[in-house]
């Protein structure tokens, strides 16, 4: 992505390296990472119920002893954030970029505009470098098919996400390149957002207001509520239950949270008292 946005040899600081694979290739990718001596940096690929795991999650994290981190993705976020984004379709039409003397598969610039906009909206555009990634990509590709970007955003149900990304990028891009955003499709998208209101939005505001429909907004709100009460890997680590008894994790979860945070609350009250 750095090659596409900033040109050959231009450095870009990152915390990890993301690899995108087809969902069916996840077990093979996991085996390769372990062969390369990368240990798990989070939840591990389960030996059973693989389909359920792939449907509910979207990446696996790995860490090497020297601190190098990798993430193997089969999506760019939970379904509630990515709409109808089809990773398979994106990979099928991927191009290549020359990096370190090798041809590396990568997404087309048009697809990357949509992907970066989804990623930024998911995280509330909390990092300025993400804005400059998108601005650099648009600046480096003056022949980018803006109508294709609009069609992709509409097909994937993320027009407002792309609109916000373009509005932020327009504010960051060099003045002599600002005309790239004057084309009709990009201007129409950008007009959905006012730069005066963007800095006042919280993470939840951005996540909710970048949904294209009211149904999607309510779906996101419901998802956030469910995630608060839904058992996770920490709850399952308390005791291993057979699948038939997984419903008991909903009982274990509040007990674990009470044990974890109750002591902190007790110490806080002791200090205040």
Helix (H, G, I), strand (E, B) or coil at 17: strand
Digitized pLDDT (tens) for each residue of the chain, 273 residues in all: 777 777 766 667 777 888 899 988 999 999 999 898 888 887 777 766 778 788 888 888 998 888 888 899 999 888 888 877 888 888 888 888 877 778 888 899 999 999 999 999 999 898 888 998 998 888 888 888 888 888 888 888 888 899 889 888 887 775 445 455 555 555 666 666 666 667 778 888 888 888 888 999 999 888 888 888 888 777 877 888 887 888 888 888 888 888 877 776 667 666 655
**The pairing of beta strand 59-63 with beta strand 102-106:** unpaired
Beta-bridge mates of residue 61: 71
- Could you give the CA distance from residue 269 to residue 273 in angstroms, rounded to a whole number? 6
Q: Which residues contact 56 (CB under 8 A, 6 or more apart)?
A: 78
Distances (CA, A) of 65 to 22, 40, 162: 27, 11, 37
Beta-bridge mates of residue 104: 97
Neighbours of 192 (CB within 10 A): 15
- Could you give the CA distance from residue 160 to residue 23 in angstroms, rounded to a whole number? 27
**Residue 174 C-beta-side C-alpha neighbours within 13 Å:** 7
Residue-wise pLDDT tens digits, 83-122: 778 888 888 888 888 777 788 888 999 999 999 999 999 9
Cβ proximity of 26 and 54 under 8 Å: yes
């Amino acid at each position: 992505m750095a090659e596409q946005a900033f040109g050959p040899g231009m450095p870009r600081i990152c915390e990890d390296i993301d690899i995108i694979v087809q969902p069916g290739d996840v077990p093979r990718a996991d085996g390769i990472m372990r062969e390369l001596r990368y240990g798990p940096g989070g939840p591990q690929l389960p030996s059973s119920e693989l389909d359920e795991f792939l449907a509910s999650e979207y990446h696996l994290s790995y860490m090497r002893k020297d601190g190098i981190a990798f993430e193997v993705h089969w999506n760019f976020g939970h379904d509630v954030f990515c709409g109808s984004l089809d990773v398979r379709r994106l990979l099928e039409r991927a191009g290549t970029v020359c990096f370190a003397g090798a041809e590396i598969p990568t997404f087309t610039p048009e697809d990357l505009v949509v992907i970066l906009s989804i990623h930024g909206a998911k995280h509330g555009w909390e990092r300025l470098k993400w804005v400059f990634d998108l601005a650099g990509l648009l600046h480096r590709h003056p022949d980018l098919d803006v109508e294709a970007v609009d069609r992709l955003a509409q097909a994937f149900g993320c027009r407002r996400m792309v609109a916000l990304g373009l509005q932020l990028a327009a504010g960051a891009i060099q003045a002599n390149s600002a005309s790239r955003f004057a084309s009709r499709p990009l201007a129409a998208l950008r007009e959905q957002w006012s730069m005066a209101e963007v800095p006042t939005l919280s993470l939840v505001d951005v996540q909710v207001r970048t949904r294209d429909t009211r149904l999607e907004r309510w779906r996101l709100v419901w998802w956030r509520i469910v995630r608060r009460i839904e058992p996770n890997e920490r709850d399952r680590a308390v005791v291993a239950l057979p699948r038939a008894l997984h419903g008991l994790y909903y009982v274990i979860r509040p007990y674990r949270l009470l044990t974890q945070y109750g002591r902190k609350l007790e110490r806080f009250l002791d200090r205040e008292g």
